[in-house]
């Protein structure tokens, strides 16, 4: 169990408020997406959860224990950061041993198995790795840590499409094998949308929503068909995106389909489908409505 409670959390740097009175609960044993534009406050929030920086107000607890200078609680969390914080001259296999000194549940056999699967040479020094393989090394250490909470900040930096797909599959397999709390902060939303259970959206240091993915996607829908009929349908509705090709259009609408909408969709011979999480995120974080 690892329930994270964040209460009235604020972080300021001089006159700049990065997080503004944030309160939310991150439930145990769920996979979360932490979404927001650059500078929204995502990394700051993760750093506060792991007590890497001090807050200007509010607090973070894990299983009702304050995280501040609490090694017992912080030992439940492993945080993969964008920064390379490992000893650069240490070989990867020695990094695994070094990590086990801090995380007693670190699974060495699993780490070596993942290294073989991802093609990571454990005899190389960390400083000799490319950007992509540095990310792979950090992913392997995080997944093998045995921690109850795994935090990933832009984990697929430098990874090619094949390695990104491998990571997502391994993350899900790891979660199924032993459920845990996972938070993924990423800009590649379309790739992770299928594995997320809940989404936290941050804009300008404030939480816009903390919701089940299905509930969030239920707040919008896509209509598609001939251009003229789609144009007729979207009149008076909140349309946030239109994709066009020849005489075909697909429009993303904010709102729910009511009986009147259903009749109009049928009359105009249009098709409906779910909206992409990426497009909904763009709207919620400040894109202008399509005119």
Q: For helices 108-118 and 131-144, what crossing angle results, to 10°?
A: 150
What is the length of the chain?
291
Per-residue pLDDT of the chain (291 residues; tens, 9 = 90+): 678 999 999 999 988 999 999 999 999 999 999 998 888 899 999 999 999 999 999 999 999 999 999 988 999 999 999 887 788 889 999 999 999 999 999 999 999 999 999 999 999 999 999 999 999 999 999 999 999 999 999 999 899 999 999 999 999 999 999 999 999 998 888 899 889 999 999 988 888 878 888 888 888 999 999 999 999 999 999 998 898 998 999 999 988 899 999 999 999 999 999 888 888 888 788 654 444
Residue 248: both structure tokens together: 């075909």
Please tell me the pTM assigned to this model: 0.87
Domains with residue ranges and CATH for the chain:
4-215 (3.40.50.300), 219-284 (3.30.70.2020)
| Residue 282: per-residue pLDDT | 82
CA angle at 144 for the pair 142 and 149, rounded to the nearest 5°: 55
3-state secondary structure of 264: helix
CA–CA separation, 216 and 210 (whole Å): 9
Q: So what's the pLDDT on residue 1? A: 61
Q: Give ∠ CA 23-29-35 in degrees, rounded to 5.
A: 50
Block residue for tokens 């927001």 = 36
pLDDT of residue 210: 84
- Other CB atoms within a 10 A radius of the CB of residue 273 amount to 10
pLDDT of residue 291: 45
């Amino acid at each position: 169990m690892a329930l994270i409670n964040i209460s009235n959390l604020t972080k300021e740097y001089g006159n700049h408020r990065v997080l503004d009175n944030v309160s939310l609960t991150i439930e145990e044993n769920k996979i979360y997406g932490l979404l927001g534009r650059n500078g929204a406050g995502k990394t700051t929030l993760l750093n506060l959860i792991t007590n890497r920086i001090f807050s200007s107000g509010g607090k973070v607890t894990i299983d009702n224990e304050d995280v501040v200078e609490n090694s017992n609680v912080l030992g439940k969390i492993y945080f993969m950061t964008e920064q390379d914080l490992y000893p650069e001259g240490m070989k990867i296999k020695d990094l695994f041993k070094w990590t086990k000194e801090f995380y007693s549940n670190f699974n060495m056999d699993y780490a070596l198995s993942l290294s073989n699967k991802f093609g990571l040479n454990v005899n190389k020094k960390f400083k000799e790795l490319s950007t992509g393989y540095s990310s792979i090394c950090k992913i392997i250490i995080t997944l093998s840590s045995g921690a109850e909470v795994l935090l990933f900040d832009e984990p697929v930096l430098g990874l090619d499409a094949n390695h990104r797909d491998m990571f997502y599959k391994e993350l899900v397999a790891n979660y199924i094998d032993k459920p845990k709390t996972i938070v993924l902060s990423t800009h590649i939303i379309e790739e992770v949308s299928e594995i997320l259970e809940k989404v936290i959206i941050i804009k300008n240091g404030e939480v816009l929503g903390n919701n089940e993915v299905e509930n969030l996607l239920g707040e919008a829908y896509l209509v598609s068909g001939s251009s003229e009929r789609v144009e007729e349908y979207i009149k008076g509705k909140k349309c946030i995106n239109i994709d066009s090709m020849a005489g075909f259009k697909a429009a993303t609408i904010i709102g729910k389909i009511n009986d009147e909408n259903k009749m109009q969709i049928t009359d105009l011979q249009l098709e409906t489908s779910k909206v992409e999480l990426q497009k909904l995120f763009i709207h919620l974080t400040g894109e202008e409505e399509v005119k």
